[in-house]
Amino acid sequence: MTRFVGGPVRVSVPATSANLGPGFDSLGLALDLRDVLEGEVLAEGLVVEVTGAGAEAVPLDESHLVVCAMRTAFEALGAQPPGLRLRCENVVPHARGLGSSSAAIVGGLVLARALVADGAAVLDDAALFELAARMEGHPDNVSPALHGGFTISGHDDDGFWTVRSPVDPRISVVVLVPPDGVATEVARGLLPDRVPHADAAADAGRTALLVAALAGRPEHLLRATRDYLHQDQRRPAMPASLALVDALRTDGVPAVVSGAGPTVLAFVDGPEARDRLLGRCPEGWVAHALAISDDGARVVG
């Protein structure tokens, strides 16, 4: 019989950036910008409270994405609670390419697991990752949201898979977030069904180089972040973002579109490079200097 824990449980979950240029739907990075979710089992009913990013737009009922993820985890754990209270303290901006939906999915799954006594023994990280990837549809954001750090992930006939890869401690990022978002569905809708073989080969080479550059050869990050498959194709949906990427790369900065955009992410390897980038934030945008988060979603006190 499933036993729920008493009192509230809090979970912290990081923002993530997928693709990182050439690693389309396969590379992901956890960033030190974190939402905090608090859940508690009640005798009856559902109470959802949201503050911060997206608070004015998200539903406060069973259709809330965190609630959907929690229900999915509870089902896998064998029982739904009689009632539930959820409070979301959102920091990760919505519809900006920083993994807000993956944070909601992974955070909700981890929160539900923590609300069940011995939940981790029933639903381990491998099973939870599979649930998260199926909910999101692809694993590139949910993997670093769960495991932290830099991950390489994908899907084959055996299911979803993921592997962590090291990041040189000198490397951090600056993200430049525009005031208006772009829906992932819109950004994906601009991609062609087929790409030239030469472009696919070029992206494969850059993706392999990026893994090596992040692991300890940051001098190769500019070349390694060159993309051929998706960024230019998305230019009509985010012209200002791609113009900024072009300008930064012309100046030797390894800048990319974060995920489906429109946030621009640039890799930096020291405080001087970080400060220069912060000074190039366009008017009306928001800049964050962020460390790579070694931790994924975790229960906090």
Residue among 144, 27, 123 at smallest CA distance from 69: 123
Peptide bond into 218 cis (omega under 30): no
Q: Containing H/E element for 172?
A: strand 172-177
3-state DSSP call for residue 60?
A: coil
DSSP letter at 4? B
Burial readout 189-217 (b: 16 or more C-beta within 10 A, e: otherwise): ebeeeeeeeeeeebbeebbebbbebbeee
Structure tokens at 189: 């809708």
Question: Residues annotated as binding site?
Answer: 93-103
Q: Are 155 and 129 in contact (CB under 8 A)?
A: no
Binding residues for ATP, by number, are 93-103
